[in-house]
Structure 1
Amino acid sequence: MFLELWKRKQAVIQWQWDLEGYEEEEELRPEYEEKVTTTRLNPVTNKPEPYLPLWNQITRLVAANSVVILMLCIVIAAMFSVILYRMAVVIAMHQTESDLFRRNAKMVTSLTAACLNLMVIIILNYGRFFYHPGDLEARTNTLLKLRYDMCDPAGCLFELFVQLAIIMVGKQIFNNALEILYPIMLVWWHKRIGHDNQNSEAYTRWEQDYDLSAYTRLSLFNEYLEMVIQYGFVTIFVAAFPLAPLFALLNNIVEIRLDAYKYLTQCRRPRAERVQDIGIWFGILKGITYFSVFTNALVISYTSDFIPRLVYMYGYSPEGTTLKGYIENSLALFNTSEYTEDMGPDNRTGWPATCRYRAYRNNPDDKNPYGFTIQFWHVFTARLAFILIFEHVVFMLTGAVAMAIPDVPVEVKNQMIREKKVEKETLFEKEKSRIRNERRVHQISIPSDEHLNVDLGEGLSPHNSSRANTPSPSFLRNHRS
């Protein structure tokens, strides 16, 4: 919906500023003309123009993509570092003697890890380090003795909500502070090192303007990047963080004022350039929109109890389509006697013979102890089916909305048609006027006989026609006689 409305707004702006089809008229950048040495003949203008050979294009694309892949690897490495940090902190807090630290270990770890993860916006699937309590195969070292992959008792969605809230709000506050403080400090430094006569009349206006922060091509790039990242927060994680649109709106209200102050008081006057649209950024926004459908489907199906509840209601509830007994059904049974000496709590007096944990696994006395139950596979299949159905339904609705909402408003389309009609009529009238002027000039350039009073000699007449040069009948009769 947002992209469709933006296309309509963009069409209105293009019509108002006469930018429709401007990309065909746009001139080459001077930097491009300077670096490119090869030329080729333009088939339209028949003039040589700078041209980058195919091999150079491939080389540049490979270099650019290599840098992008390297940055992605760095982001993934940083994320795994945060994961290891969270595991180490949880283990350290569980090994303390304080009950307060043990009870709040996961909450404290989530908060601190989210603060460290402000600049890395990605959610990875950690995987399971072991499958059930007392699993000896996966407990090969101290790092894997704690079941870190289990979510908080409030659910995985709660932990994701906490992380996204800290990351998004913290990032917005940091960016706004940096965006307003950096130009102020830069202008102050330029004035400090550039002039000693700031308080005198010799400090002219053009010197004051020169000391302001320069407006470069990357200035607008950073503004676009900030908006695209914010759009990603609002769309990709809206299922886990419903307050994201509200925080984005509040941030934009504040940022409009900050940008106005920055550009009017701390930056040099930007040089206006004509462009037809926002360029590649619209494609990026469109890609984020499609990707957000997949991520929200995963968030709903895997980090919430929505699918397991539906499976229980319509397949395993003993009292019809109700959730009575759901909690007990979602907990598997474990025999505590299978704990070794280095597992479980330190104080084992009075502990029960069995305990429960969240999983769909068989009981200890089953033929396949701690194996997956049939309900697990039902939930797994339902989650995959939900992802497919959710994606197709959303894409169908998106396509229907795109077809229902025209890209160009009707008023603008009518005005554009009228402008083309007026343009054709103007060209037709101009062509008619040109033809009339040519005819008038041609008639003036051929004089009539009345104006030719020139004596051409005996026997000659100023008339050019053959009939006028023929002797009259009276002349012939006189000549015969």
Structure 2
Amino acid sequence: MIKRGIYSCAFPPHEGPSKIPADKPAHQLNSRQVLHKYWARWSRWHKYQPLEHIREYFGEKVAFYYAFIGHYTTWLVPASVMGVGVFVYGCCTLRDNVIVQETCHSHNEFKMCPLCDDKDSESCKYWYLSDMCGYILISYLFDNHGTLVYSMFASFWACCFLESWKRQSAILASRWDMVDYIEMQERARPEYTSKCTEFAEDPITGLIEPHFSHAKRLPRLLVGLLSLLFLMFLSVCCLLLMLLFRAVVTAAMFKNKLFRSAALSVANTTSASANFLLVLMLEYLCYYVAFGTTEWEMHRTQTEFENQVIIKVFLFELFNYYLSISYTAFFKANLAGKPGDYNRLFGSRFVECLNGSCMFELTQYLAIIFIFNQLFAQASELLYPKLCLLLHRGSVGFPAEQKNSSKQWESDFALIPYQNGLFWEYLEAVMQFGFVTLFVPAFPLAPLFALINNLVEIRLDARKLVLETRRPRPERAQSIGIWFSMLKFIAYLATISNATLMAFTSEFLPTTVYTMLYNKGLEGYKNFTLNFAPPNTTSEPCRYNGGFSQHQHSEFYWKLMAARIILTLSFQQVVFAVSRLVSWAIPDVPSQVENRNQRQKYLARKSLIDRDILGRRFKRVDFFA
């Protein structure tokens, strides 16, 4: 009816004004005022959320989201403490690290090959490794011996958090009488029934209903899949564009002596910032493409429709956000090449990692993407509703003086419509969980930033929901739905990525093997890792970071490769084994809740039996009468 223009909008009204009277006691406040006073205030940031009031006012679906985000934020506390501990450990042991000291005090010992190709130009100079002392210092803060411990902790933390949430979800479902709630009887979407041209008998109800066959839906599903693949192709193009941009900026800055030491850092920062903007553009494009193709696929119920949109957007977001990060973590160090044989992209050299491994570049990239994403999300949450409110009131011609109208529906009509449900909130939380678990050894401070963000996010969303938007239509729910499967998938990927990151990107294993074979104090490690440029490839002898290519087929090379494979496999298997053990040892439903659920089912069956017996007795009396 709304889409046909018969009604302009439809919404349940709020229960009175949101302004809290100064002379009213708490028990006389309406539900909206209670939520405003005890939930939607900045001063309540350290308090638990009033979930029962949220559920009573907005319904179980909204309440489950805020229960999840509150539970997740609480679990971020130990992860933040551990991450800060690893960072502090790096700060405390910085002065004692031999690699840092050798690099910073090497002076003119290690002459490095130019980062640009103009070897005959006066502007393209050779440089010394000691020029990058600050770069090496910061790199050690995030890549030290505590990193392995933290990567293991993060994988176990993700497993335990998901198990804990399953139990909490079961408790809330039992408390809110949602245990036996099923969506089998969910009505068909109006968009589905209005566009169906065929009818068929429902196998469950036996009723004749609008029907769209699977044979007709399959080609449309393929079109949706191709659309998703095309968006992923655009994401790859953005990555190539970012790599080209980084190479050009690095070469240009390296030619300037004043900016030479900061060339890579500035190039990484600017390219990561530009990539973040491209990621945001593709994110919103993906949502509209996913929504349009899913609408065309003709899914019967709203749940089926939402799940398909969620799957499409989630898969693309996972690819879109982590493509450039994965490149930096696993491929960048091996693509630069060597003097005389550099790999190129459209004529520009691939930028190498100054420290041999790309751990610091990964840290820098993760920090920029993660923090910028949170700042953008918070700014959007803060400013977008207010802007929409002004535009909405202007578009409907609603007088400002009627904001405090005596009629509640008139006051609510001036508020912005509640759209898209909790889709963006859940997506933001799930992607944040990815940043906190995936690649977390490179940025152990991510949980701390996530914790601070969520404390602000909860109150910001609460204010928007209570004060700035129309009241959403209450919906029932048994859990957070398909989003939990997304979290489990990310936790599984996190174990694989963290194991691979520690084995192939971090300096942990190379330094460990070096101490076992050559020097327990790590003296000479930097000289050992730097390669000499091949003869006749440069105008002067120089060194470059080529990994351990000059030590190929040596004892060190094979032992390092064996250690990497052993660490990768053992890390994954230990985490997976412990995860299965925790899942087996901790039941998804607490015993008290299970007993309560069984008790309720027993009473329900007993009530039906008693009613059936009572009905038979009345029939018998009527028969003899």
User: Into which bin does the TM-score normalised by the smaller protein fall?
Assistant: 0.7 to 0.9
Aligned to 1:317: 518
Q: Secondary structure of the residue that 1:87 maps to in structure 2? A: helix
8 Å Cα contact 2:398/2:414 also seen in 1: no
Aligned to 2:147: none
Aligned to 2:84: none
Cα separation, 1, equivalents of 2:530 and 2:616 = 92
Query: Quick check: 1:360 aligned with 2:548?
Result: yes
Cα separation, 1, equivalents of 2:589 and 2:404 = 54
Aligned to 1:26: 186
Displacement after TM superposition at 1:90 (Å): 0.5
Aligned to 2:54: none
Q: Secondary structure of the residue that 1:23 maps to in structure 2? A: coil
Query: Quick check: 1:160 aligned with 2:362?
Result: yes
Aligned to 2:379: 177
Query: Quick check: 1:90 aligned with 2:250?
Result: yes
Displacement after TM superposition at 1:52 (Å): 2.7
Q: Secondary structure of the residue that 2:460 maps to in structure 1? A: helix
Cα separation, 1, equivalents of 2:598 and 2:345 = 75
Cα separation, 1, equivalents of 2:246 and 2:590 = 52
User: Measured at CA, do residues 227 and 138 of structure 1 come closer, stay the same or move farther in structure 2, by a change above 3 Å?
Assistant: closer
8 Å Cα contact 1:297/1:391 also seen in 2: yes
Displacement after TM superposition at 1:355 (Å): 4.4
Displacement after TM superposition at 1:405 (Å): 1.3
Q: Secondary structure of the residue that 1:117 maps to in structure 2? A: helix
Displacement after TM superposition at 1:418 (Å): 0.8
8 Å Cα contact 1:152/1:159 also seen in 2: no
Displacement after TM superposition at 1:339 (Å): 4.1
Displacement after TM superposition at 1:44 (Å): 3.2
Query: Quick check: 1:398 aligned with 2:557?
Result: no
Residues 291-342 of structure 1 show CA distances to partners (whole Å, capped at 9, x for unaligned) of 111211222122211121232233x225xx654443333233447x63444x
Aligned to 1:143: 348
Query: Quick check: 1:439 aligned with 2:620?
Result: yes
Equivalent of residue 465 in structure 2, options 257, 263, 284: 263
Displacement after TM superposition at 1:201 (Å): 9.4
Aligned to 2:167: 8
Displacement after TM superposition at 1:373 (Å): 4.2
| Unmatched runs of 5 consecutive residues or more in structure 2 | 1-159, 280-320
Residue identity matched to 1:111: T
* Larger deviation, residues 185-194 vs 407-416: 185-194
Cα separation, 2, equivalents of 1:79 and 1:68 = 17
Cα separation, 2, equivalents of 1:331 and 1:232 = 34
Cα separation, 2, equivalents of 1:38 and 1:196 = 43
Cα separation, 1, equivalents of 2:404 and 2:164 = 52
8 Å Cα contact 1:15/1:412 also seen in 2: yes
User: Measured at CA, do residues 189 and 142 of structure 1 come closer, stay the same or move farther in structure 2, by a change above 3 Å?
Assistant: closer
Cα separation, 2, equivalents of 1:431 and 1:187 = 56
Equivalent of residue 536 in structure 2, options 309, 319, 338: 338
Residue identity matched to 1:338: N
Query: Quick check: 1:328 aligned with 2:527?
Result: yes
Residues 177-224 of structure 1 show CA distances to partners (whole Å, capped at 9, x for unaligned) of 1122111111112223433743369966433321211112x1311111
Residues 120-170 of structure 1 show CA distances to partners (whole Å, capped at 9, x for unaligned) of 3221123645543x32575899623xx622x23395222211221121111
Residue identity matched to 1:442: F
Q: Secondary structure of the residue that 1:49 maps to in structure 2? A: strand
Displacement after TM superposition at 1:374 (Å): 4.8
Displacement after TM superposition at 1:176 (Å): 0.9
Cα separation, 2, equivalents of 1:140 and 1:5 = 47
Give the TM-score normalised by structure 2: 0.62
Determine which structure has the larger helix proportion and give its number.
2
Q: Secondary structure of the residue that 1:24 maps to in structure 2? A: coil
* Aligned 1:101-116 pairs, distance under 5 A: 101-116=259-274
Aligned to 1:471: none
Displacement after TM superposition at 1:26 (Å): 3.1
**Structure possessing the higher radius of gyration over alpha carbons:** 1
Aligned to 1:454: none
Q: Secondary structure of the residue that 2:183 maps to in structure 1? A: helix
Cα separation, 1, equivalents of 2:514 and 2:333 = 24
8 Å Cα contact 2:514/2:525 also seen in 1: yes
Aligned to 2:313: none
Aligned to 1:237: 439
Aligned to 2:236: 76
Cα separation, 2, equivalents of 1:178 and 1:355 = 48
8 Å Cα contact 2:438/2:490 also seen in 1: yes
8 Å Cα contact 1:236/1:296 also seen in 2: yes
Query: Quick check: 1:100 aligned with 2:258?
Result: yes
Cα separation, 1, equivalents of 2:436 and 2:199 = 46
Identity of aligned residues (%): 35
Aligned to 1:448: none
The Cα RMSD (Å) is 2.7
Task: Give the paired residue count.
Answer: 416
Q: Secondary structure of the residue that 1:338 maps to in structure 2? A: coil
Displacement after TM superposition at 1:376 (Å): 2.9
Equivalent of residue 383 in structure 1, options 558, 564, 568: 564
Cα separation, 2, equivalents of 1:29 and 1:182 = 29
Residues 426-450 of structure 1 show CA distances to partners (whole Å, capped at 9, x for unaligned) of 1221122112111111111xxxxxx
User: Measured at CA, do residues 141 and 31 of structure 1 come closer, stay the same or move farther in structure 2, by a change above 3 Å?
Assistant: closer
8 Å Cα contact 2:178/2:477 also seen in 1: yes
User: Measured at CA, do residues 37 and 411 of structure 1 come closer, stay the same or move farther in structure 2, by a change above 3 Å?
Assistant: farther
Aligned to 1:429: 610
User: Measured at CA, do residues 196 and 30 of structure 1 come closer, stay the same or move farther in structure 2, by a change above 3 Å?
Assistant: closer
Cα separation, 1, equivalents of 2:570 and 2:166 = 28
* Larger deviation, residues 390-399 vs 195-204: 195-204
| Unmatched runs of 5 consecutive residues or more in structure 1 | 345-352, 363-369, 445-481
Query: Quick check: 1:126 aligned with 2:332?
Result: yes
Residue identity matched to 2:485: G
Cα separation, 1, equivalents of 2:359 and 2:343 = 26
8 Å Cα contact 2:356/2:529 also seen in 1: no
Cα separation, 1, equivalents of 2:477 and 2:403 = 41
* Structure with bigger RCO (C-alpha 8 Å, 6+ apart): 2
Cα separation, 2, equivalents of 1:260 and 1:433 = 50
Cα separation, 2, equivalents of 1:51 and 1:140 = 52
Query: Quick check: 1:66 aligned with 2:226?
Result: yes
8 Å Cα contact 2:363/2:442 also seen in 1: yes
Residue identity matched to 1:360: F
Q: Secondary structure of the residue that 1:40 maps to in structure 2? A: strand
Equivalent of residue 206 in structure 2, options 29, 36, 46: 46
8 Å Cα contact 2:502/2:508 also seen in 1: yes
Aligned to 2:412: 209
